[in-house]
Chain A
Amino acid sequence: MDRYDLPDAHGHFGPYGGVYVAETLMAALAELNEEYARAKADPAFWQEYHYELKHYVGRPSPIYHAKRLSEKLGGAQIYLKREDLNHTGAHKVNNTIGQALLARRMGKKRVIAETGAGQHGVASATVAARYGMECVVYMGAEDVKRQAPNVYRMKLLGATVVPVESGTKTLKDALNEAMRDWVSNVDNTFYILGTAAGPHPYPMLVRDFQTVIGEESKVQMPEMIGRQPDVVVACVGGGSNAIGMFYPYIDVPGVRIVGVEAGGDGIETGRHAAPLSVGTPGVLHGFKSYLMQDENGQVSGTHSVSAGLDYPGVGPEHSYLKDIGRAEYDAINDDEAMNAFHDLCHLEGIIPALESSHALAWAIKHAPTMDKDKVILVNLSGRGDKDINTVAALSGITL
């Protein structure tokens, strides 16, 4: 196989990706693409980016051997890439720092973002405060309710949070509204997109800013166990933490790559958020990819206990990796994720994000079927403090 090198110049990953937006945004995307190309070739840009990741975010994030959990399962060893220990509590900040530095290069003083779980909103509000920019975050009204602590965190950081009442009132509608804002304020506004999706160049640049996860892992695993893991696994909402972990491993033979979508109430119920598992190719939010839709091409409503995975689309590179067979995608249901959440709390003293709990649940499900000398590296994309209200409510407790 040739060295994997995508997207092409037009933002295509095979048949996926591209730039499917209204004409008004075409120039802004071209400008962003050009500026990113310049930044990419500028060592000073990366120097500052890595300085910020080290001193502001606290990277590198450690890898932790979840020994008690592994022992209890009696199979493969589970290791956790601790993105939950980042400043702001998730992988999202890796990307927002990169994009904020781009925004500053482009002289934009106002940034906007969409958010589902609120983690990307918090990470955007954080960098906006850090670099002195105005910040507006669009969030589905449904998510505003279920992620109340994050809404308040964004406000504390000086951002304006706009609840989105249209459509299904979740992440996809927040994205629609952010795009509408961008079209209306394109001259002075930088759109900090939160996942490896959207029109080109976003899937590429978000991936590039998140690959620090996999790059670090590639160095840390040999230090810990003398080799690379047998499996890397990550949850897939839009796909940014997953592609960040996967990308550096694409060209490493023998490493199995597994993305985990939200199975919600179960794939068979139709109430889930698993486009790679049961969707068909379509166009939404500026790119072509697998999409949950009905036979008429209307986008389906989704369900997941985790707001950050509650999205009917998926980043185009994952669709491509699925089609070429380099990555496999599976779904984990709400209750399996909840069990994994509690297991990690009790056995390891780590409260994981509900999103990350999906990746963890996959490892918990498959570790017992594997030999004890096998290693699964789970990307623990975020911490679960933001989810305690949701978890409490599911246990019949009001905080």
Chain B
Amino acid sequence: MSRIAATFARLSGQKALIPYITAGDPHPDLTVELMHGLVDAGADIIELGVPFSDPMADGPVIQRAAERALAHNVSLRDVLKMVAEFRKTNTDTPVVLMGYLNPVVAMGYTEFARAAHAAGVDGVLSVDCPPEESEELATELEAQGIDPIFLLAPTTPEARIVEIARHARGYVYYVSLKGVTGAANLDIADVGRKIARLREHIALPIGVGFGIRDAETARAIAGVADAVVVGSRLVQEIEAATPETARERLTRLVAELKSAIR
């Protein structure tokens, strides 16, 4: 069983917490430590952002995180090294890379899939690679036992839900609002209705992200979804911290979110 499937099996109905941080933010030397901190505070799966020069789907908070990481020239290869380092002492917590397609194109799909498997990556979510364009990459990933993770959106029509369900592995990621990461217009009742509709076609666990900013919204989302993804709010915490206080501030918030969704 994959680490992702094993994680959801172990939770057996309890809700998963999936924190997102950008690799290399605030400094590449801190990322592995922060990942361990997330796990200690209750993270069930880690979404690790791969910095990209043109993060079209991200709001200002995650844009700035990418800029901080890129100031240290953090590359996709560097991110894979961080995952490999993390795996030396953690063999259970799934790591999902989240980012944009171009760095993967530049590395080459075959080489990337092999290297990601060797590093211990469990899933890959390319924000700008919908199922229509994903066949080649998904084939390479699956050959290495890595789950291609796909997004669903409030705008996704029924027929596409069915189609995406066919391609999705691991879990699906429902984008809770029309907007970029970090937006603040989350409508929980609407998310609940949409998730119910998704479940008619999707057997995989459903995670919900974008716009979850505090324990209260996390709890509400946990009421309707299988996993709660929190990104911008955590990145904000890192941004406000010093390198010395980043781990502590991050883990305090993650622990709070975790207890909220229990």
For the complex formed, measure the closest distance between the CB of A96 and the CB atoms of chain B, giving whole angstroms: 22
**Stretch in contact with the other chain, from B10-18, B113-121, B145-153:** B145-153
Given A18-B133, A187-B178, A284-B54, A23-B150 contact (CB < 8 Å) = yes
Given A23-B151, A24-B178, A297-B76, A283-B102 contact (CB < 8 Å) = yes
Whether B106 pairs with A282 at a CB distance below 8 angstroms is yes
A266 CB within 8 Å of chain B = no
Given A27-B157, A183-B57, A20-B106 contact (CB < 8 Å) = no
**Looking across the interface, which residue of chain A has its beta carbon closest to that of B152?**
A23
Whether B127 pairs with A22 at a CB distance below 8 angstroms is yes
Complex interface bits, A267-294 against B, C-beta within 8 A gives 1, otherwise 0: 0000000000000111111101001010
Bound Cα distance A166, B60 (Å): 9
Complex interface bits, A79-103 against B, C-beta within 8 A gives 1, otherwise 0: 0000000000000000000000000
CB under 8 Å from chain A, chain B span 186-219 = none
**Looking across the interface, which residue of chain A has its beta carbon closest to that of B157?**
A27
B260 CB within 8 Å of chain A = no
Whether A297 pairs with B153 at a CB distance below 8 angstroms is no
Interface of A is mostly: mixed
**Stretch in contact with the other chain, from A172-180, A255-263, A324-332, A371-379:** A172-180
A369 CB within 8 Å of chain B = no
Query: Which of B59, B153, B164 interacts with A24 by CB under 8 Å?
Result: B153
Bound Cα distance A34, B119 (Å): 43
Whether B155 pairs with A26 at a CB distance below 8 angstroms is yes
Complex interface bits, B98-129 against A, C-beta within 8 A gives 1, otherwise 0: 00111111110000000000000000000111
B242 CB within 8 Å of chain A = no
Whether A28 pairs with B155 at a CB distance below 8 angstroms is yes
How many of chain A's residues have a CB under 8 angstroms from any CB in B?
39
**Looking across the interface, which residue of chain A has its beta carbon closest to that of B106?**
A297
Whether B179 pairs with A183 at a CB distance below 8 angstroms is yes
Bound Cα distance A184, B125 (Å): 21
Contacts of B56 in A (CB 8 A): 21-22, 176, 179-180, 285
Whether A297 pairs with B105 at a CB distance below 8 angstroms is yes
Whether A186 pairs with B106 at a CB distance below 8 angstroms is no
A10 CB within 8 Å of chain B = yes
Whether A20 pairs with B179 at a CB distance below 8 angstroms is no
**Looking across the interface, which residue of chain A has its beta carbon closest to that of B174?**
A23
Q: Give the 4 A-B residue pairs with the shortest CB-CB distance, closest first.
A: A297-B106, A297-B103, A296-B75, A23-B151
User: A-contacting residues of B (Cβ < 8 Å)?
Assistant: 52-57, 59-60, 63, 70, 73, 75-77, 100-107, 127-130, 132-133, 150-157, 160, 164, 175, 178-180, 183
